[in-house]
Amino acid sequence: MVLELQRRFQGTPFSNRLEVIQGDVLKTELPRFDICVANIPYQISSPLTFKLLFHPTSFRCAVIMYQREFAMRLVAQPGDNLYCRLSVNTQLYARVSHLLKVGKNNFRPPPKVDSSVVRIEPRRPAPQVNKKEWDGFLRVCFIRKNKTLGSIFKQKPVLLMLEKNFKTLQALLASLQNNDNGEAASIDLGGDHQGMSIEDDYNEVDDDDMDMDDGGEVDGDGGEKSEFKEKVINVLKEGAFEEKRASKLSQQEFLYLLSLFNKYGIHFT
């Protein structure tokens, strides 16, 4: 394909305007661009989409053909069967619209799946959120998207992860207050999702398969764990989220709930 492109443009007025970059798009530093048009290997749908969305220079739009189910998750709205963490994450950073379905019989030989063409327009200005914390928060909310958030946030591994982050942050703040020189310090809060990138599992894992081995809910036998559990529940109650489900929440509701947790010093990365 590279040689064919070069042959077709050679000797034309456009030859000096063509630059062909040959390589793995996921490992290549992309230049500044205005429009992306692509028919991609479907196994890189998620990492390529987020690589484009997190490109340091904003672009006008991307028109990409995806496997149909993945495309429908990109555009799904609250309450839709395919509404998931991918839907919320993508739509925070971009306006996503479905353009057309491309049936498998349009190809020879026909593949096993249908396709869809999707238009992606990055939001301007870009949302001011911590990408890792936003994704870590959504991972927890979508452990079981049709369970109530009250049930999800009472699970033992969720509470242990959040409490660990909370104590680490409190220790950091205390050390800063006791620092006579007033020097700034930074610390990684860790968490159960440490080391997982924002785009690493959308192609393979359905949100309803992301259950934790929770060992049940944390009991109320006093002590710090019980106090922290009450703190988490109070956050959910303050925003009236205890009986709500991730599958029904809008992007603005997710942002509001995250802000409530942060207000009480509870973080997800």
What is the strand order of the sheet 35-39 is part of? 35-39, 61-67, 115-122, 94-102
Q: Distance of CA 182 to CAs 144, 174, 179, Å?
A: 43, 12, 5
Across 59-77, b (16+ Cβ under 10 Å) vs e yields: bebbebbbbbebbbbbbbe
Q: How many CB atoms lie within 10 A of CB 53?
A: 22
Tell me: is residue 39 an annotated ligand-binding position. Answer: yes
Q: Check residue 46 and report its DSSP letter.
A: H
Is residue 201 annotated as involved in ligand binding? Answer: no
Any known ligand binding at 196? no
Alpha helices by DSSP H, the chain: 2-9, 45-53, 68-75, 85-93, 131-141, 149-152, 156-177, 223-238, 251-263
Decide: helix, strand or coil at residue 37. strand
Beta bridge partners of 148: 245
* Beta carbons of 218 and 225 less than 8 angstroms apart: yes
Phi, psi at 147, each rounded to 5° = -85, 155
- Residues annotated within a binding site: 1, 24, 39
Which residues fall in the annotated binding site for S-adenosyl-L-methionine?
A: 1, 24, 39
